[in-house]
Amino acid sequence: MENIKYWIVVASKNHVQNGVEGGFIQACHGKASPLNHIGVNDWVVYYSPKLEFGGEQKCQAFTAIGQVIGNEVYNYDMGNDFIPYRRDVQFWNCCEIPILRLIPYLNFIKNKRNWGYVFRFGFLEIAQNDFEIIAGQMLCNIEELKGVPIDIYTEKSSLSI
């Protein structure tokens, strides 16, 4: 049986949008190490603390969700001597969800007062339960997930938040 894992990658919303459009993820400023932990069929959720990389305007939302489809971690030359590592992902249509409304329900956030601390390394594994809470709020069209080997809510969410 396949051991599916669930991950959060931290990136600005504008960088997330580039990945969604291109069907890839990058993590931790293009490092290969985090991507090597991810397996095919693992699920990835992006958390975006800011709207733009280096900007001041907060986003503080989960901004993309997808499933890893490629076996390889590969380099991609973006120019200006920046050659990050990437991994191919099938992204799902989703709604952006502010994190503040989910904090009370997420077990991976132990300190609810200083909740941002958990995202400091830019990449973390979460439990299936936490993933399902996030996914249940984000997924706008659950119908497209029929046949996916994961127990996601059959409704938008069972949480009343």
Tokens of 40: 């095919």
Q: Is residue 153 part of a domain?
A: no
- The type of residue at 15 is H
Report the chain's C-alpha Rg in angstroms.
15
pTM of the model: 0.82
Domain that holds residue 91: 6-145
What band does 141 get if pLDDT is binned at 50, 70 and 90? Answer: low
With pLDDT > 70 as the criterion, what percentage of the chain qualifies?
Answer: 83
Rounded to the nearest angstrom, the gap between the alpha carbon of residue 67 and the centroid of all alpha carbons in its chain is: 9
What band does 81 get if pLDDT is binned at 50, 70 and 90? Answer: confident
Q: Is residue 156 part of a domain?
A: no
- Does 8 have pLDDT greater than 80? yes
- Does 128 have pLDDT greater than 90? yes
| Highest mean pLDDT: which range of 26-30, 130-134, 149-153 | 130-134
Contact in structure between 11 and 48 (CB atoms under 8 Å): yes
Q: Is residue 150 part of a domain?
A: no
Q: Is residue 15 part of a domain?
A: yes
Q: Which residue has the higher pLDDT, 30 or 15?
A: 15
Number of domains in the chain: 1
CATH of the domain at 98: 3.10.590.10
